[in-house]
Structure 1
Amino acid sequence: MSQNQQIPSGSGECPVCHGTGWKIYREAVEGYKEPLEFARRCSKCKGKRRINDQTGVPPEYYSADLSKFDFGAYKSRMDNFRKIVMNFVNEFSRWEKQGKGLYLWSRTPGSGKTFLACCLARSLMIKYDLQMRFITAPDYIDMVGEKIKRARGEEDQTKVFHECDVLVLDDIGAQSGGEWQRQEIFRLVNDRMETGKITIYTSNMSTDSLNVDSRTRDRIVKASVELQMPEESLRRKKAEMEQQQFLREVL
C-alpha cells in the first residue's frame, strides 16, 4: 500500500483492491504489443475509505491517471509524444536508471501541461508504490521563505520535495527571480539530480528561455527529456463546449 493512502483500522480487506484503494486493470494501447496496466480508484471501496492525500496534487486532479488524458483532443498529431509519455510510465525503471524525468512546456495557458504531469506522477505513484509530491515553483519559494523566517528547530517542510521519489515542479519560471530564490531552485534541482530522483517539470517557456541561472538550466536539461505540448488551449475548448451545452439546455 502506498504511503500516500491510509485505511481506517477494522475496515477489513476489500476483495477487489485488497486494501490498496486502487484496482489495476489492463488495456490494449495502439503501438504496444502487450496490454498496459492502469489504475482506478476501487469502486467497491468508494465512500467506505478515507484517502489521506498528502501529495499536494490539486483537488481537481485527485483521480487523474494516464488513462484519463485524451491525446486525441488536440488538433495536432500526438503519436510520438504519446509513445514517449506512455513509455515513461510503463518502462519507468529505464528512465529512473538514467535519472531522466520530463520537461513539459507550451506558451499557451490551459494546454494540459499540469493535468498531464499529474496523470503521469499519480500513475507512477500507484503502479510502483512511490512517494510523490506536487508543488508549484512559486509555492515552493514561498515555503522556503517561511522556513527562513521560522525559528530553528522546527520541522523543515521543504525536505520532502528534495527526497520524494517523484516530484512535479509545476510552473517553473513563474517564481520570483531574486538571488536567494534562484539559489533555492538550484539547490532543489541539483539535490534531486545528484540523488537520481525523478522530476516532472511544467513551464510556459522552453529550457532555453527559462529564467533560472545557467547551472540550474544545465541540470534540468541533463535530468529531463524536453517535450513541447501543442499550442492549443484545452481549457478554453472545454469551457466553450460547456457553454454550448448550457445554452442548448436553456433554449
Structure 2
Amino acid sequence: MTGEELARYRVKGEMTRWFERKMDAEQISERRIYMRKVLQINEKLSSLPCDVLDASRLYRVGNGYLYEDPKGYEFYLSDNKVTQEETEFRRIRSMMPFEFLDCTGADFDWNIYKTDASQQKALMSSYIVNFEKFREKGMGLYIYSGVKGSGKTMLSCCLLNEIGKRYTVGTKFCNVLDFLEMTKKGYSGGDKDVAALYDASLLVLDDIGVQMGKEWVDTVLYRLVNSRYTNRLPTIYTSNLPVEGLNIDDRVTDRIESTTYFVRLPDEPVRQQERQKAKEKLMEEIKNSL
C-alpha cells in the first residue's frame, strides 16, 4: 500500500480504535513521510510528533484533505491556498458580531448540550468540507431552535469563518432587523451595503421570523431571498422558529425550504450557561489573586 492509502488508517497500538491497521516499520515510515508532506499546508499541523501522527488519520476529500486527530476531531485542509491576508480581509468585512469574529469550528462545544447533537455536528462538518458542491447548487442551511441563546448565531459565525479560511468566497453576516433598517428611506449607508448582501457568495441572515408581519417587510425580504435563489447563492438562516412557523410571505418560505438543509439545535439556553461559567471563572480568579 502507498503512503496515501496507509494514512487512511491509524497505526494499530495497544488500544482498539476505529480505522486501525497493523503496519510494519517500513509502512509506518512511508505513512509518516506522506502525512508530513501533506500537513505542510497547515502551520499548526506541520510538525506533529510521531506518536500523534500514528494515532491520526488523513485522507483526500474533494479539493483538500480531512485530518482526524487522535481524539477524533476533524480538520479540513484546503488545496485552494487561501492566504491569511485574504481570510482576515473577508472576516473583518463580513459584518458579523464582534464577539464571534475569531470563532472557528473548534470553539463551538457540541458537548455542552445535554441531548445528543452528533447528527447536527456531522452535518456542519459535511457542509464545510463539501462547501463547493453545496455552493454549485445554491444550498444553504436553516439553523433553528425553540429557545433563545441556543448557539445559533455563534454556530453560523463559526461556519462563515471556517469556510472563509478554506475557499475564495465573499462572506457577509446581517441580522434581519438590521437589513430592514438598511432598506428604509434615509439610511445613511447607501445602496452598496444592501448590494453586498445580494452579491455575497455566502450570507448569514440572522434571527429571521420575529420581526415579520408587514407587507413592506415581505416585499424587501422576498427581493433579497429570491435574488439569491435565482443566482444560486447559498444562504444560512438562523431562527427561533421552524420554517413553517415563520409569519412571512409563502413565496419566501418556499425559497428557503427548497435551498436549505434544516439543522435543529437542542432547545437549551447554552448561552446563559456559558456566561454563568465565565462569571464564576472570573470570580474564582479574583479570589485566588487576593
Shorter-chain TM-score bucket reads 0.7 to 0.9
TM-score normalised to the size of structure 1? 0.78
Distance, in Å, in 1 between the alignment partners of 2:252 and 2:170 is: 24
Distance, in Å, in 2 between the alignment partners of 1:155 and 1:66 is: 33
Distance, in Å, in 2 between the alignment partners of 1:50 and 1:194 is: 27
Cα shift readout 1:117-163 (whole Å, capped 9, x = no counterpart): 01001211221021000000000000001xx3469xx6442011011
Residue 151 of structure 2: aligned partner? 112
Give yes or no for the alignment of 1:250 onto 2:287.
yes
The alignment partner of 1:110 has SS state of: coil
Residue 141 of structure 2: aligned partner? 102
Residue 67 of structure 1: aligned partner? 106
Contact kept, 8 Å, 2:91 with 2:101, in 1: the verdict is no
Residue 4 of structure 1: aligned partner? none
Question: Structure 1 residues 81, 59: closer, same or farther in 2, change over 3 A?
Answer: same
Gaps of 5+ in 2: 1-41, 46-65
Residue 160 of structure 1: aligned partner? 196
- Of 67-76 and 27-36, deviating more is 27-36
Cα shift readout 1:11-36 (whole Å, capped 9, x = no counterpart): xxxxxxxxxxx967574169989853
Q: CA deviation at 1:85?
A: 0.6
Contact kept, 8 Å, 1:24 with 1:37, in 2: the verdict is no
Contact kept, 8 Å, 2:181 with 2:187, in 1: the verdict is no
Match of 1:225 among 257, 261, 276: 261
> Which amino acid is the alignment partner of residue 66 of structure 1?
G
Spell out structure 1 runs of 4+ moving beyond 6 A.
30-34, 49-52
Over aligned residues, Cα RMSD in angstroms?
3.1
Residue 31 of structure 2: aligned partner? none
Residue 28 of structure 1: aligned partner? 68
Give yes or no for the alignment of 1:169 onto 2:205.
yes
Q: Which has the higher contact order (CA 8 A, sep 6+)?
A: 1
Residue 203 of structure 1: aligned partner? 239
Question: Structure 1 residues 216, 32: closer, same or farther in 2, change over 3 A?
Answer: farther
Cα shift readout 1:164-189 (whole Å, capped 9, x = no counterpart): 10000000113353111111111111
Q: CA deviation at 1:53?
A: 1.5
Q: CA deviation at 1:250?
A: 3.3
> Which amino acid is the alignment partner of residue 244 of structure 1?
E
The alignment partner of 2:193 has SS state of: coil
Contact kept, 8 Å, 2:91 with 2:171, in 1: the verdict is no
The alignment partner of 2:123 has SS state of: helix
Distance, in Å, in 1 between the alignment partners of 2:74 and 2:257 is: 32
> Which amino acid is the alignment partner of residue 132 of structure 2?
S
Cα shift readout 1:173-217 (whole Å, capped 9, x = no counterpart): 133531111111111111001100010000010001011110100
**Correspondence list, 1:128-143, <5 A:** 128-143=167-182
Gaps of 5+ in 1: 1-21
**Correspondence list, 1:70-81, <5 A:** 70-81=109-120
Provide the aligned length of Structure 1 versus Structure 2: 220
